[in-house]
Amino acid sequence: MPESLYIYLLPILAVIAGYIISVFLKPGSSSGFKLLLAFSGAYLLAVTVLELLPEVYNSANEDIGVFIMLGLLLQIVLEFLSKGAEHGHMHHNKDSAAFPITLLISLSIHSLLEGFPMDHDNHLLHGVVIHKIPVAAILSVFLVQSKLSKPKVFVFLSLFAAMTPLGNWLKNNIPEIARYADEINGVVIGIFLHVSTTILFESSKNHSFNASKLGVIILGVLLAYFI
């Protein structure tokens, strides 16, 4: 498979996998699903700290810390709009028949940006894929149980799935965007730091750790380090 197709296809398959999971499981109450969410948060955090941070700080940009902080602040704004969908929580009104355009915009911006630093030879691609699966499952449950028609659900999930590959395509094909790769990567790092740490602490009851969750977190960190 061509490398570019591999990068574009995997995030889309992650959304499809999330939808399939939503059909057979109840992601909001499944303990196994919560462990998957914790694993995805740990893996994403480890990849961010071990790979993305050293890369941007090795660049010549002395203001990279500013862009990391901007990413953190941007993610706070996005989560205000999405009500926490990026880290596996949905607090929207399922009884509404209105198309959740604010949720789509927030998730689209998040997904578009996370596609910029992905390459076939780094672990971020796999981290994003692992992260997308539980998020897509929670999102699918919400959309299917809402009063939206099936075509609208399909349109929503299709646009959500396309955003990450689109972000990667823009970086690789628009020179004006590629010129600011380090700054954009700094913003993405801030987003990932906020999302991954929120996942790790919010996926526990009363913010406490149990043995199973601690085990999957350690596994996620070790896989990100050794693979």
Q: Could you identify the residue written with the tokens 């299917």? A: 144
Residue 105 confidence (pLDDT): 92
Q: For 117-135, what is each residue's pLDDT tens digit? A: 887 556 788 888 888 988 8
Residue 175 confidence (pLDDT): 92
Residue 128 confidence (pLDDT): 87
Residue 206 confidence (pLDDT): 52
Q: Could you identify the residue written with the tokens 């897509």? A: 136
Residue 164 confidence (pLDDT): 93
pTM (2 d.p.): 0.86
The answer to whether residues 112 and 167 touch, using CB atoms and an 8 Å cutoff, is yes
Contacts of 178 (CB under 8 A, 6+ apart): 171, 172
Residue 121 confidence (pLDDT): 55
What mean pLDDT do residues 189-199 have?
91
What mean pLDDT do residues 135-143 have?
86
Closest among 208, 199, 188 to 84, alpha carbons compared: 199
Residue 34 confidence (pLDDT): 79
Position with higher pLDDT, 113 vs 118: 113
Residue 149 confidence (pLDDT): 86
Residue 224 confidence (pLDDT): 85
Residue 189 confidence (pLDDT): 94
Q: Please determine, for residue 207, whether its predicted confidence score (pLDDT) is greater than 60.
A: no
Residue 130 confidence (pLDDT): 86
DSSP, residue by residue, 59-110: SS-TTHHHHHHHHHHHHHHHHHHHTSGGGT---S-TT--S--HHHHHHHHHH
Q: For 19-76, what is each residue's pLDDT tens digit? A: 988 887 765 556 777 788 888 889 999 999 988 898 888 877 788 999 999 999 999 9
Q: For 141-180, what is each residue's pLDDT tens digit? A: 888 888 788 888 899 999 999 999 999 999 989 998 988 9
Residue 120 confidence (pLDDT): 55
Position with higher pLDDT, 193 vs 3: 193
Domain coordinates of the chain in residue numbers?
3-226
